[in-house]
Amino acid sequence: MLIWQILIDGFAISSLYALGATGFTLIFGVTGVLNLSHGAIMVAAAVAAWAASGNFGAGAYLAAAFGVVVALLLALATYYLVVRRLQLSRAVREEEKEIFILTATLLWGIMIEEAIAWLFTNNAKTVLPIVDGVITILGVRTPANEIFTALVCWATIGGLWLFVNRTLAGKAVLAASMNPRGVTLLGIELSTVYVGVWAIYGALAGVAGVLLGMFLGVSSYSAGPLTASAFSIVVLGGLGSVSGSLIAAYVVGYLETLTAYLVSPAYRAIPALLLLVVVMYVRPRGLMGRR
């Protein structure tokens, strides 16, 4: 019975990790930016959904949509107010801009985190679930919301795959990740592609954040661990590799779930971090990294 519980719970949390890491990887793969405000944006989406339902009486669907919109707007704000301004700045040397942007997104994330704590306190908050009830799978009683979370995560990832591989706009995004100069030679504005990618990222982070709020609950303290988790997954899978991030998300998710059930929830992150250290020594570019 325990093995089935681990498999089911591990699948749900891994799916959440996969969705969150996909957006993180997409931003790096296309724009070259490691966005360290990632966890704060996810938490903001969850808290916005919680506030919409708890403070303003919005239904579950409307509250979830509001949370996604907040994340999308924060992602665009991150690009326009932080990343883009540093990229265009003449006061910062070109070779130093990457570390400046990395530091700036970290500080921006801390500002979002502190704003959430100031406005709504840092107590844990649970978003109103869209699906209620309990279902039985292989003899294991499982919250229906847990299965709903995994299904929505993979439906969203599948939608992203269809967009990238089956639409002209998606192919422009794919081309920009491979050869930005070539995209400009084709007459496509690279800045337009980047804005579109940040908007997609915001939507992905918003969906992941709202689902996390429904599944486990969040607080302002969750921002740092969420960013660290996403960073660990994309490094393990290979920076810029979406498929590598998906594989790494399940490796990390199941390692954490096994540790939580068989050892203690307090130590759930340790095996994944040890694995990351080993991979960095044996294969520094990750499982499927390109760079």
Assigned domain for 290 exists: no
**C-alpha–C-alpha distance, residues 34 and 266, integer Å:** 28
pLDDT of residue 134 exceeding 80: yes
pLDDT the model gives residue 169: 86
Amino acid at 64: A
Q: Which of 85, 70, 71, 74 is nearest to 108 (CA)?
A: 74
Assigned domain for 8 exists: yes
Assigned domain for 62 exists: yes
**C-alpha–C-alpha distance, residues 128 and 144, integer Å:** 13
pLDDT of residue 212 exceeding 90: yes
Segment 112-116 long-range contacts (CB within 8 Å, at least 24 positions apart): 112/37, 112/40, 112/41, 112/43, 112/44, 112/74, 112/223, 113/40, 113/43, 113/220, 113/223, 113/224, 114/220, 116/40, 116/43, 116/44, 116/47, 116/220, 116/223
**C-alpha–C-alpha distance, residues 127 and 133, integer Å:** 15
Alpha-carbon distance values, 171 to 60, 183, 194, 233, 241 (Å)? 34, 10, 13, 25, 16
pLDDT the model gives residue 289: 61
User: Contact at 8 Å (CB) between 210 and 64?
Assistant: yes
User: Of 135-139, 161-165, 198-202, 257-261, where does mean pLDDT reach its minimum?
Assistant: 135-139
Assigned domain for 274 exists: yes
Domain that holds residue 154: 2-282
Residue predicted with more confidence, 287 or 16: 16
Token pair belonging to 64:
């979830």
Assigned domain for 289 exists: no
pLDDT the model gives residue 290: 55
Assigned domain for 291 exists: no
Write out the DSSP string of 9-36: HHHHHHHHHHHHHHHHHHHHHHH----T
Token pair belonging to 91:
């006061």
Question: What pLDDT, in 10s, does the model give residues 29-87?
Answer: 888 898 999 999 999 999 999 999 988 888 899 999 999 999 999 999 999 999 999 99
**C-alpha–C-alpha distance, residues 38 and 186, integer Å:** 32
pLDDT of residue 107 exceeding 90: yes
Assigned domain for 287 exists: no
At 204, which CATH number?
1.10.3470
pLDDT the model gives residue 57: 82
pLDDT the model gives residue 92: 86
pLDDT the model gives residue 84: 93
* pTM (predicted TM-score): 0.91
pLDDT the model gives residue 214: 92
Residue predicted with more confidence, 285 or 245: 245
Question: What pLDDT, in 10s, does the model give residues 145-179?
Answer: 889 999 999 999 999 999 988 888 888 888 888 77
User: Of 14-18, 233-237, 243-247, 275-279, where does mean pLDDT reach its minimum?
Assistant: 275-279
pLDDT the model gives residue 47: 96
Assigned domain for 94 exists: yes
Q: How many domains does the chain have?
A: 1
